[in-house]
Amino acid sequence: MTAKARRPIGVFDSGVGGLTVVRALMDRLPFEDIIYFGDTARVPYGVKSVATIRAFSRQIVEFLLQHEVKALVVACNTISAVALEQVRELAGDIPVIGVIEAGAQAAVKVSKNHEIGVIATSTTINSNAYAREIHRLMPDARVYSQACPLFVPLVEEGWVDHPVTRLTAEEYLKTVLEEHVDTLVLGCTHYPLIKPLLTEVTGGRVELVDSALTTAEATAEVLAGLNLLNPQRGAPEYRYYVTDIPLKFQTIGERFLGRSIRDLEMVKLG
Amino acid sequence: MTAKARRPIGVFDSGVGGLTVVRALMDRLPFEDIIYFGDTARVPYGVKSVATIRAFSRQIVEFLLQHEVKALVVACNTISAVALEQVRELAGDIPVIGVIEAGAQAAVKVSKNHEIGVIATSTTINSNAYAREIHRLMPDARVYSQACPLFVPLVEEGWVDHPVTRLTAEEYLKTVLEEHVDTLVLGCTHYPLIKPLLTEVTGGRVELVDSALTTAEATAEVLAGLNLLNPQRGAPEYRYYVTDIPLKFQTIGERFLGRSIRDLEMVKLG
């Protein structure tokens, strides 16, 4: 088993957002090598059709499988929402951890009154994937969903603590908060960056479930269960592949990752 | 010349925004057939690298040339900013009309004090294409540019008359307005939809140059000059090609076009 355990974890996303999951993985599993793939040339996925998202995801998964990863972490909520089964089929016996399953598990653990809110991109919300997964784990749960398409561009603009973002959050969360949810799932990898603002807007009355942290935790559990944790306790290797390197990539990427990005390579898909 | 004159005009954009240009063309040139191409699977371009935008633009132009268009209208400011020369090379003797040249021409006609503001996406602003073109036409002009990356997602969210959009506009326009510009170029095809709000925020003190209208006008002039206006005065044909048809495509598209979208086809590029 150890030869396989030394392989890297493959993490992928439609863009840079998944770097919040990489950051959580680095903290939780500091001895694991990680290969990240971000489809920055075609980002965002959250406003595109299911067929297109599946076609793009297939290309990314094939790329990561060629790099002999020992596990696949679907850091993108949109991909997890509409293409997880397809990723599992392509992955064969390689374990696949999806942000939505991880987030739903964490939400049902946290919620006391079984009233759970979910915020995410339009495609994730429309897929109903969070509600389905939460109901599977907690059949009497009531799930209130809200698409928040402006949060991603607001975070990418760097307005993580800005009156415009606060006003937007108040508008988006109004209906969900009226339903007395005690738990709110941040169903998009960009949202952890506005956690302080969301805590403020929700008046501290709800528990925020950060999908990056829960996914790192789920990944640790899966690797431990399969005896795939890296036995080598040396300095880990991190590699980043993207389909485009736009002007502000480094700045935005490092804001998500919380450290500098080295070993960055641009590749062409499709 | 008439056989060629009967061919359609090709209009293209990174997504649906260019439909504001199509709408202006339909009004200005009601007897022309139009083929529209929107790269909705890879939209937006405004945050991507120059190399990637050029590669994508080449694919679109080749597609439209295969459809025997008599002219190419680059409705996307970002493509006009960084790939116009390449489009002209590919087009050969087919005339190419770019939104930026058209917008710059209109701005220098309108401005009295030669202080001109330009708002657009990050890539368009960073390319400096508007400032360069305005200076070419009016060497003593002073150009003040401001990237407004949130306007596109705000328009696509439908918040065209919303406190969040007003607050965002106030923030973006603060510096430009302090410079006492008398003209403001709307350097993105999405912006005409928030023209009333921008008029309000600028207190009616500046003339707004709508790139959709100016591009339609420039196209009419070019076609007339080359004797390429369609001599047939029947009902025109409109065809729309896109690379993805997401959930809200019809709703958003028709908001831009101001009429229903028929003859829509999804194609694969690259």
Q: Is A157 close to B163, i.e. CB distance below 8 A?
A: no
Spatial separation of the C-alpha atoms in residues B164 and B170, rounded to whole Å: 10
Q: What pLDDT, on a 0 to 100 scale, did the predictor assign at position A47?
A: 83
Q: Is A175 annotated among the ligand-binding residues?
A: no
> Which residues of B carry out catalysis?
76, 188
* Residue B225 host element (H or E): helix B211-225
Secondary structure letter of residue A157 according to DSSP? T
Ranges of residues in chain B with a pLDDT under 50 are: none
B2-98+214-266 maps to CATH 3.40.50.1860: yes
Q: Is B149 close to A167, i.e. CB distance below 8 A?
A: no
Residues of B with CB under 8 A from a CB of A: 40-42, 47-49, 52, 122-123, 126, 149-150, 152-154, 156-157, 159, 163-164, 167-168, 171, 243-248, 270
Selected residue of A244, A245, A266 to mutate for chain B interface (largest B Cβ count, 10 A): A244
pLDDT, tens digit only, all 270 positions of chain A? 578 999 999 999 999 999 999 999 999 999 999 999 999 999 999 889 999 999 999 999 999 999 999 999 999 999 999 999 999 999 999 999 999 999 999 999 999 999 999 999 998 999 999 999 999 999 999 999 999 999 999 998 999 999 999 999 999 999 999 999 999 999 999 999 999 999 999 998 999 999 899 999 999 999 999 999 999 888 999 999 999 998 778 888 999 999 999 999 999 997
A100-211 maps to CATH 3.40.50.1860: yes
Spatial separation of the C-alpha atoms in residues A90 and A66, rounded to whole Å: 12
Q: How far is B204 from chain A (nearest CA, A)?
A: 23
> Which residues of A carry out catalysis?
76, 188
At B30-74, the pLDDT tens digits run: 999 999 999 999 999 988 999 999 999 999 999 999 999 999 999
ipTM of the complex: 0.90
CATH 3.40.50.1860 in chain B, residue ranges: 2-98+214-266, 100-211
The token pair that represents A174 in the structure block: 């109004």
Selected residue of A40, A45, A48, A56 to mutate for chain B interface (largest B Cβ count, 10 A): A48
Q: What pLDDT, on a 0 to 100 scale, did the predictor assign at position A83?
A: 97
Q: How far is A175 from chain B (nearest CA, A)?
A: 17
- The string of DSSP codes covering A58-120 is HHHHHHHHHTT-SEEEE--HHHHHHHHHHHHHHHTTS-EEEHHHHHHHHHHHH-SSSEEEEEE
**Nearest residue of chain B to residue A252 (CA atoms):** B47
Q: What pLDDT, on a 0 to 100 scale, did the predictor assign at position A1?
A: 55
- Is-contact B130 B185, C-beta < 8 A? yes
